[in-house]
Structure 1
Amino acid sequence: MITREMLKPFRHTERQDFFTVPGVMTLIDDLAKEPRLTLFLGAGASVAQGLPNWNDLLTRLLMQVSHHDRRFANDVERGTWAGLILQSFDSTAAGSVIKARARDGAFASHLHTALYATADDLHVRQRGSDRFARAVWNLILFRKEAGLETSVVTLNYDDELEALFKKSASIRAHADRVGISGVVSIHDEATYKEYPNSGSLFPVIHLHGFMPREDWEKRRSQAFVLSSLDFSEPWETHWSQEVLDDRALDKWLMVGMSFQDSHVNSLLRRRRTLAAGGPLSPAIGIMSTQGRPWHNQPATVVDLLAESEQTRLAELDLILLLTSYFFQDYTFLDEVAHKSKDANLPSYTDRRRKWHDSVSLGTEKKSPLLDRRQSQVREKLISLRDSLEALLPPAASDEQIKVELWLRDIEKRSLRMVASSEIRIVDHSRAQHFALSRDSPMAAVRGFTHGAVRTHERDAHEQGAWRSFTSFPVRLESEPYWDLPIGAIVVASTLPLVESIFVSDGMDASRRVYASMPEITAMLGPSSPFGKIMERMI
C-alpha cells in the first residue's frame, strides 16, 4: 500500500521544474535497472506525435458522423453540438453516439480520417513529430542492449511505433544489433494467437484496436473499443488479458494516458489481485498537466488537484508524477533509456545546467563573443530563409519568410529570441522573452512545450506584417547532451497558414528546416568554437 510518506518525494508544485522534484531523478535511475518493464502508452503519446488528443479525436469523429445530418445548417452548428456532447456526457457516451451514427460500417474510414487526414497536420507529419515514438524505441533498444526486457502496451489506435521502425534506418540497424528483426502489431485474438510464432519480431500490443496509416481498409470489420458498451464489457474475458497477466508482476510505467479510463483502473486492480498479497512494486504513472482541463487554473488549485489525483491512484498502487509540459513525458523516457545504457551518464538537470552555463547568452549587454555568435547563427538563418523562399513560385511575390532561433533560459523559465534572419540583436538583455506556459499561443513556446511542430496564426485584426508562425523544436541529440531540448526554430510567413509555404509546399519546406538544424545546433554546444571559448571563460 502506498502511503502519504511515499508520495512526498513526488508532490507536484507549479513553481518547481519537473526534473528537480526530489524523487524524479532517483526514480529514473531505478527504472533504468528494472529487469522487466512494461510500458503503457495513452493518448498523450499521440499528441506529441502531432496526432489529436482524445477529446480532439472524438470531436473530429462527431463532426464526421454528423456531416450528412440536414438538421445542422453548417459546421459551426455541428461543432457546437459535438462540444456539448463532450461537456454533457463522458467520453464513452460520445463513442456510443459516434458508432451509432457511422453509416454502413463506415466507422473505420471515419477513424482513419480523424487520425491522419486533416489539413492542419499536413506540415506536422515530419521528423519533428516522432520524438515520443523515438524515445520509446530508445527505451526498448537500450534496455535490450543491457539485457533488460521491455514490453509495450498501447491504448492508442495509431501505428506511430510501427511506422517509425519502418521509416528509420538507424532504429532498424540498432534493433538488428540486439536481435530484433521487425515489429508485430497485436490487436485482436487472431494476432495474439499468432504472436508466439513471431520469432524475433517485437510485439506492440494495441488493447483498444489498431488503425494503421497504410492498408487501413483491411480494418473495416475490426472491433474498436470506444463506446459505453465496449468499456462495460468484462475485461477478464478480453483477448489481451492473458498477455497482461503474464506481465502483472513487471514494473509498470504508464505514460500519457487518462487515469479516468475504466480499462486502466481495471488493469491496476487486476494487477493487485494477481499479486495475491505478495510483494508488488508500485506502478509509475506519468501525466502532463498540459493535457488536463484544469491546466489554466491558479497554481495553488492545480497543485491541490494534482495531489487529489495522486492520492486516488495511490489506492491502486500507482505513484503518479505530473509533468508541466508534453515534452517532459518523452524526455523522461529518454532519460530512462540513456541511464539503461550508461548508469554513469550525468543527469538531465546536470547536462541542462552545463549547456545553459556554457552556451547561454547570459545577461551581458555588450560582448564581442555574443556578437560573433549571433552573427554566425544569423548567417545560417538567412541561408535557411533564402532556401525556403526559393520554393515560392515566381508569381507568389506576396509571401515573405523570416526565420528566428529561440533558446531556453532555465533561470527565467522562458524562451529567448537569440537570432533572426531579419534583425541583429544589439542588446541581449532586452531580447524578446516568452514565458513557458501550457496554453501560450506563441509558436515558439507551443513547439518547445509540445516537443512537436506547432503553429500560431494572428487574427486578421492584429497589427503586423507576419501572419503565421510554424515552430520546430530543437534538441542537442549527441554527446555530451544526449537528446537535450534547448529551444525552437520559428518560421514566420506574411500569409495566413492555409496560404503559406507550409501548406503549399509543406514537405519540402519542413525538410529544408530539418536539413539546416545540424549546422545551427553545432554552434550551440561546447564542441562549437563558441562553446569552447565560453567553457574556458567559465
Structure 2
Amino acid sequence: MDGPRRRADHHEVHAPPQPRRRRQIAVGCIPAQEEGQTTIDRCRTREADHRLSVSFSAFSQPPLRDLINDARDTPKLSLLLGAGTSIEAGLPSWSALIERLLVRAGTASGTLTTADEDGTNRWVAEAVRRDGYLGAAAIVEALAEDGQLGEWIPLDLYGERSPSDFFPGPIAQQLPRLVDAFGTDLEIFTTNYDDLAEQALRDDPVSPRQAAAYVGEHLGVGADVVQVRHLHGYAGRDGQAGTLVLSEADYQRMQQGASWQANQVGAALANSMFVFVGSSLADPNLLRYLYGEPPGNKPPRYAIFVRQDTYEPEVPDGVRKAREAAVRSRWGAVGVTVVFVDHYVEVAQALSEMARAKRLGESYVPLPDRAATWVTTVNDRLLGLAADETFQRAQSQIVTRLREALQAAVAAAERLEQRQWDETLALTLWLVDEPGEHLINRATTDRLHIDRATIEPVHIDEYARWVAVRAYCRGKILAESRETYASRWHFIRGLPLVIDDDEFGRIPVGCVTVTSMKRRDETMLNAIDDAVEAGFNRALRTAIYELLAQPFRH
C-alpha cells in the first residue's frame, strides 16, 4: 500500500482547500489495551501452535541459509519475478486479471449486461470452474475481435489508473541492491506485463540506473543499462511491446519451434544460479523449461514460496507440513530447492540478504546476529531498559520525539494540501525483540510507561489483532476502521519500519501506528490523495529513523 490504493467507501478522496485557520490538531495516544480490542474473527480459532511466526533465526538455518550462501558464492545469478511482485504494488493477480477480462469480454459481446451482477458472477465462476483459468483466457480471446485483446489487457491490468500510478513494492526495491552486488552477472526475467522492475531500478534513491524492457528484439543500449526480460510481453508506462501472452493458444504458439524465451531461460538455467520469486511455478512455459532440461549437474535453483494467505486458521499444522513436504519433493525432482517463508516481509529480506552476502563475501554477518546487536543497542541506549530510572527518563524523551514526529508529518501534509487539519491523532512506536518473534509497544504519545514489567510483547502472526503486527508481516502499510465501545479511536494506519544502512544492512525493526478519533469517512488519514499520503509517510518515517539512529551516534 505504499503505492496507490482504492478507497471504495470514500469517493471524495481529496477535499477542496479551506480558508486557512489556526491548526487545532491534538496529539494523543493509542493505549495498548484499546488497540488490542480490534479483532479478526478467524484469529479467535487459530491454535497457538499453528501460528506462522516471523523469526530472524530462519535466516541462519537451511534452506534459507543455503540460498544466501549460494548467492554469495555463485558467479552468476538469474531471477524470475512472478505476479507476487505486481500484487504487492496493488496490481491484480493473474487469476484476478482473467476474471476482469471475462467480464469485459462478456459485456462487449452482448453476453452480459453490467446491471446483472448475479449473472456476471455466475458467468465468471462457471468459466473458471469448467475450463480453468487458461481455458477462461481462451474464452476471452474467442470473444474479442481482432486487436481487442491487446487493448483490453492493459485496461483491466491497471483499472481506472495508468501504469505511472503504481510504484514498486519491497520485493522489487531489492533489485538495485542485487545489481550493485552482481553487476552484469545478474539477469532479470519476469512473466509480468508491468514495468515495476524497471521503475525500481530507475527510482532507486541510492543508485538510480537506466533500465529497459526486453521482449525479444535487439536493443541498442549501453552496457550500463539493465535489461528486464518480459517473457509474456510488456505493457508499461511507455506503451506496449511484444505479444501479450495470455491464452492457451498463446502458450501453444510459444512452444512451436525455438523461441527467444526458451533459449534465454534455458541458457540461464544451465549457466547460473536461478531463483523464482513471487511465482507459483504454475506457468505452462516455466514447467516446460524445467522439465525439458537434459539430465546432469546443474547450478543451484531455488523457489521462494510464502505461507501467508495460503492456509485458513483452522487448517491443522500436519496438513500444512504434509503439503509442503510434497511440494519440496515435486520441485526437487527437477533440481529446484523450495524455500518456504512465513510472511511476505521475508521475501524482500531474503533478496536483500543475498545481495549483502554477495557484496561482503566472507565478512557477511547473518541477519540474526546483526538484528540482535541492533535491538540490544536500542534497548540499552534509547529505551533505557537496564533500570527503572533510565527507563522512565527515556520514556519522557521518546514521547516528546514522537509528538514532534507526528506534528512534522501533519505539517508536511498540510503544506501539500494547502489546508489545515482539525483532527486528534495518536502515534505509537512498536519495535521488534531480539529474536524477531514479537513486536513490543515501546512508547505512545500522551502517556508514559512507568513499569517495564507491564509491557507485554505481541506475537508476530499474520492473524494478529494488532494492525502494527499485520503491517509488519506484510511489509506494507495497512489501514482499518475500528468500532469498539471502549475505544475513542476509530481509524488506524500501520507503517512498517525498515532500517537500511552500511553497518547493519536492511532489517525490519518494527512499525508505527497512527490513529484518529474520527471515522474512516471523516479522517484525513483516509481522505488524502496519494501524493499527500506519501509526503506524510516520508516525514513521519524520517523523524522516526532519526530517533532510532540516535543510539549509534558516536
Same fold (TM over 0.5): yes
Alignment pair present for 1:264 and 2:283? no
AA in 1 matched with 2:181: F
- Summarize deviations over 1:440-482 as a string: whole Å, max 9, x none: 4643223212222232333x67764333332222111113210
The residue aligned with 1:207 is 231
Secondary structure at the counterpart of residue 248 of structure 1: helix
Alignment pair present for 1:384 and 2:428? no
The residue aligned with 1:368 is 389
C-alpha distance in 2 between matches for 1:118 and 1:419: 40
C-alpha distance in 2 between matches for 1:336 and 1:162: 20
**Structure 2 residue aligned with 1:96, among 135, 138, 156?**
138
CA shift in 2, pair 1:153/1:59, >3 Å: same
AA in 2 matched with 1:183: A
The residue aligned with 1:183 is 211
Q: Does the 8 Å CA contact 1:467/1:495 hold for their aligned counterparts?
A: yes
1:258 shift after superposition: 0.5
- Summarize deviations over 1:124-161 as a string: whole Å, max 9, x none: 956xx5321221221122122xxx71111111111112
C-alpha distance in 2 between matches for 1:373 and 1:60: 53
1:23 shift after superposition: 3.7
Q: Does the 8 Å CA contact 1:185/1:205 hold for their aligned counterparts?
A: yes
**Structure 2 residue aligned with 1:231, among 251, 270, 286?**
251
CA shift in 2, pair 1:27/1:389, >3 Å: closer
Report the more deviating stretch, 370-379 or 152-161: 370-379
C-alpha distance in 2 between matches for 1:307 and 1:13: 18
The residue aligned with 1:305 is 323
1:514 shift after superposition: 1.8
1:493-504 alignment, distance < 5 Å: 493=516, 494-496=518-520, 500-504=524-528
**Structure 1 residue aligned with 2:367, among 348, 352, 370?**
348
The residue aligned with 2:30 is none
1:387 shift after superposition: 3.8
**Structure 2 residue aligned with 1:38, among 78, 84, 106?**
78
C-alpha distance in 2 between matches for 1:55 and 1:498: 34
- RMSD value, Cα: 3.7
CA shift in 2, pair 1:528/1:410, >3 Å: closer
Q: Does the 8 Å CA contact 1:93/1:227 hold for their aligned counterparts?
A: yes
Alignment pair present for 1:470 and 2:512? no
Secondary structure at the counterpart of residue 226 of structure 1: coil
The residue aligned with 1:487 is 510
Q: Does the 8 Å CA contact 1:310/1:320 hold for their aligned counterparts?
A: yes
Uncovered stretches (5+) of structure 2, i.e. residues with no partner: 1-49
CA shift in 2, pair 1:467/1:116, >3 Å: farther
C-alpha distance in 1 between matches for 2:397 and 2:78: 46
AA in 2 matched with 1:416: I
Alignment pair present for 1:454 and 2:478? yes
CA shift in 2, pair 1:140/1:368, >3 Å: same
C-alpha distance in 2 between matches for 1:105 and 1:115: 17
Alignment pair present for 1:280 and 2:298? yes
Q: Does the 8 Å CA contact 2:82/2:191 hold for their aligned counterparts?
A: yes
Number of residue pairs the alignment of both structures matches: 491
1:170 shift after superposition: 2.6
C-alpha distance in 1 between matches for 2:446 and 2:148: 50
1:342 shift after superposition: 0.6
Identity %: 20
Q: Does the 8 Å CA contact 2:101/2:152 hold for their aligned counterparts?
A: yes
The residue aligned with 1:406 is 430
Secondary structure at the counterpart of residue 280 of structure 2: coil
Q: Does the 8 Å CA contact 2:214/2:228 hold for their aligned counterparts?
A: yes
Secondary structure at the counterpart of residue 259 of structure 1: coil
Q: Does the 8 Å CA contact 1:46/1:52 hold for their aligned counterparts?
A: yes
C-alpha distance in 2 between matches for 1:410 and 1:296: 30
The residue aligned with 1:325 is 343
CA shift in 2, pair 1:107/1:432, >3 Å: farther
C-alpha distance in 2 between matches for 1:430 and 1:65: 59
- Summarize deviations over 1:11-44 as a string: whole Å, max 9, x none: x995784324334224312212211211111112
- Summarize deviations over 1:98-129 as a string: whole Å, max 9, x none: 4455677454555435444568x99x956xx5
AA in 2 matched with 1:255: V
C-alpha distance in 2 between matches for 1:454 and 1:103: 40
C-alpha distance in 2 between matches for 1:299 and 1:263: 32
Secondary structure at the counterpart of residue 519 of structure 2: coil
The residue aligned with 1:22 is 62
CA shift in 2, pair 1:482/1:83, >3 Å: farther
Report the more deviating stretch, 42-51 or 475-484: 42-51
Q: Does the 8 Å CA contact 1:444/1:471 hold for their aligned counterparts?
A: yes
The residue aligned with 2:178 is 139
Secondary structure at the counterpart of residue 516 of structure 1: helix
Q: Does the 8 Å CA contact 2:60/2:366 hold for their aligned counterparts?
A: no
Q: Does the 8 Å CA contact 2:405/2:544 hold for their aligned counterparts?
A: no
* TM-score under structure 2 length normalisation: 0.77
C-alpha distance in 1 between matches for 2:139 and 2:466: 35
The residue aligned with 1:7 is none
Q: Does the 8 Å CA contact 2:429/2:443 hold for their aligned counterparts?
A: yes
Report the more deviating stretch, 27-36 or 162-171: 162-171
CA shift in 2, pair 1:331/1:382, >3 Å: same
AA in 1 matched with 2:306: S
Uncovered stretches (5+) of structure 1, i.e. residues with no partner: 1-11, 176-181, 533-538
CA shift in 2, pair 1:207/1:131, >3 Å: same
Secondary structure at the counterpart of residue 524 of structure 1: helix
* TM-score under structure 1 length normalisation: 0.79
The residue aligned with 1:178 is none
- Summarize deviations over 1:256-305 as a string: whole Å, max 9, x none: 101222222112123x22xxx43213411111112535686332221211
AA in 1 matched with 2:290: L
- Summarize deviations over 1:215-240 as a string: whole Å, max 9, x none: 33x56xx5322223333445353332
Alignment pair present for 1:520 and 2:539? no
C-alpha distance in 2 between matches for 1:59 and 1:433: 42
Report the more deviating stretch, 284-293 or 253-262: 284-293
AA in 2 matched with 1:421: T
C-alpha distance in 1 between matches for 2:515 and 2:160: 22
Secondary structure at the counterpart of residue 171 of structure 2: helix
C-alpha distance in 1 between matches for 2:51 and 2:460: 15
CA shift in 2, pair 1:14/1:516, >3 Å: closer
